[in-house]
Amino acid sequence: MEASLKKQFIEEGYIILDVLSDKEIFHFRSIMDNLLNPEIRASINSKRGSSFQHLGDNLSEFGQEARQYYFHLLTKAGTEPIHHAFHHPAILEAVEQLIGPKPIINNASILAANEGTSYSLGWHRDIIQIPEDQIEDWLFSPERFHNSVQINLPLVEENSLWIVPGSHNRPNTAEENMAFSGSKHYAPIGVEMPGGIPVKLNAGQAVLYNNNLIHRGYTETMKVPRRTIHMGYHSAAYPPTWHFYLLNSELLTKEYLNTLSPTIKSMMEDYIACRAEYPDMSKTWTKAYNFPSPN
Ligand SMILES: O=C(O)CCC(=O)C(=O)O
């Protein structure tokens, strides 16, 4: 990776990379369409909020409502055909170069919606796991290493992700606080954020971003369906962040692991080992965990 890209990731909080060839775009798009069954169309097209992302949707329900769907993949039987997207060499290599060696996956999802869907998720930083009274400004500073990369890899062109470049490394400005209207989690839907820009991506291009960035999901009305692979990783060389706990490890039973490909099984075993080493998510946003004192 060029040094200028890494610099952009550190300073602006995101980079865009060409990842998939045309053949791979077609390959993954066919698999995703088969998983989703896009023939099912909602009969009512009125605006609907997307589901609460961390719970996730069931693949069999896709398209029944005119909204954006969020599917968790690595913990659910039936999603195996697309799992190899999560160890694409170009993605793993980029993550290693941005944050460090031995990437551990902690989020593997599909973001999908049919054409005609209106999508609006309020501006936020990905800090929903942290109680609002424990969210402190030092979490968003260049001095704190954020061991997390979040990625959107669309299989058709999209501009649903909006970001405020550079906001990952500083607390909210007074104007941003006004937009957040007193919440430290989500700004009210429909509120504009100063400096917010859409991230336009072609099919097969990925945006890799620091999810402490102020960002949102928004498309007025999708002219093309949304078909995006969404993933998150951290480097095993450093302690994880709260994002690491997103995968529901209780679903990673021995029986389920035995149904996975050897590569994905080994990735999940790395996940489970890291979970055993760092069992307590609530430590991950404490000052001592982020700035350990030298022994
Ligand atoms: O790309 C999107 O729809 C936004 C996703 C998002 O906000 C998130 O994953 O936190």
pLDDT 10s digits, 152-193: 999 999 989 999 999 999 999 999 999 999 999 999 998 999
Q: Which residue's CA is the nearest one to ligand 1's atom 2?
A: 217
Q: Which amino acid is at 240?
A: P
Query: How many A from CA of 21 to the centre of ligand 1?
Result: 24
Cβ 112 under 6 angstroms from ligand 1: no
* Confidence band, pLDDT 50/70/90 cuts, at residue 40: low
Residue 97 lies inside a defined structural domain of this protein:
yes
Cβ 217 under 6 angstroms from ligand 1: yes
Q: How many domains does the chain have?
A: 1
Residue 295 lies inside a defined structural domain of this protein:
no
- The CATH code of the domain that includes 175 is 2.60.120.620
Residue 285 lies inside a defined structural domain of this protein:
no
Residue 73 lies inside a defined structural domain of this protein:
yes
Range of 174's domain? 3-280
pLDDT 10s digits, 246-288: 888 888 999 999 999 999 999 999 999 999 999 999 999 999 9
CA-wise closest residue to 51 among 137, 110, 10: 110
Cβ 229 under 6 angstroms from ligand 1: no
Q: What are phi and psi of 152, to 5 degrees?
A: -115, 125
CA 40 to chain centre: 26
Cβ 161 under 6 angstroms from ligand 1: yes
The rounded distance, in Å, linking the Cα atoms of 260 and 123 is: 36
Task: For residue 180, give both structure tokens.
Answer: 């957040």
Cβ 50 under 6 angstroms from ligand 1: no
Measured between its terminal Cα atoms, the distance across the chain in Å is: 35
Complete edge-to-edge strand list for the sheet that includes strand 14-18:
14-18, 205-209, 149-154, 226-235, 103-113, 69-72
pTM of the full predicted structure? 0.93
For residue 17, the cross-strand partners are 206
Query: How many A from CA of 39 to the centre of ligand 1?
Result: 25
Task: For residue 48, give both structure tokens.
Answer: 């609907």
